[in-house]
Amino acid sequence: MIKRVHHIGIAVKNLKESTALFEKLLGVKAEIHAATSQRVTEACFRLGDEAEIDLLEPMGEDSTVAKFIEKRGEGLHHIALEVDDVNAGLKEMEGKGIQIIDKEGREGVAGQIGFLHPKSTNGVLLELIEPRDKKDKKPSQSAVFFNKFVSKDRD
């Protein structure tokens, strides 16, 4: 079950300049992390208790984010949806006919993550994330609506 939008990833060329811009825009300070396994350096902006905005600067030319920027320019890279169990989430999505990139969750900065292929999700890369630091929150109202909407039982 999807609990909430965990974060939105935006691909940028220059993390320093974009961090300064987004700090001015959002009025919050960023936390900077090196996500070596994903080949990006991230600036994370926590927006209250809900979603984060993460700016992603590629680490080297072989990074998937570098390829993305080269092909499509800077901009929305992915939307991450929080789940209780990433492996169960990936299996559930595969069962619904969605093309998955990862058969199993892998280690990300904030927990276990797995991706769904943008070719099967209207051109948007979706990430499922099982946060390490589970807040045990109730799903947000929009997540309740989303789950109802995609449920096979809806009328």
Binding site for ligand CMX (CB under 6 A): 9, 35, 38, 40, 42, 56, 64-65, 67-68, 71-72, 77-78, 101, 108, 115, 117-118, 123, 125, 127
User: Quick one: 33 or 138, whose CB is closer to ligand CMX?
Assistant: 33
Radius of gyration of the chain, Cα coordinates, nearest whole angstrom = 16
Task: Tell me the closest approach of the beta carbon of residue 9 to ligand CMX, in angstroms.
Answer: 6
Residue 69 has phi, psi (to 5 degrees) of: -65, -40
For ligand CMX, the closer of residues 76 and 148 by Cβ is 76
- Nearest approach in angstroms of CB 45 to ligand CMX is 14
Q: CA quadruple 23, 123, 142, 35: dihedral positive or negative? A: negative
CB of 30 to ligand CMX, least distance (A): 14
Q: Where are the beta strands (DSSP E) in 12-148?
A: 31-35, 40-46, 52-58, 75-82, 106-107, 111-116, 125-131
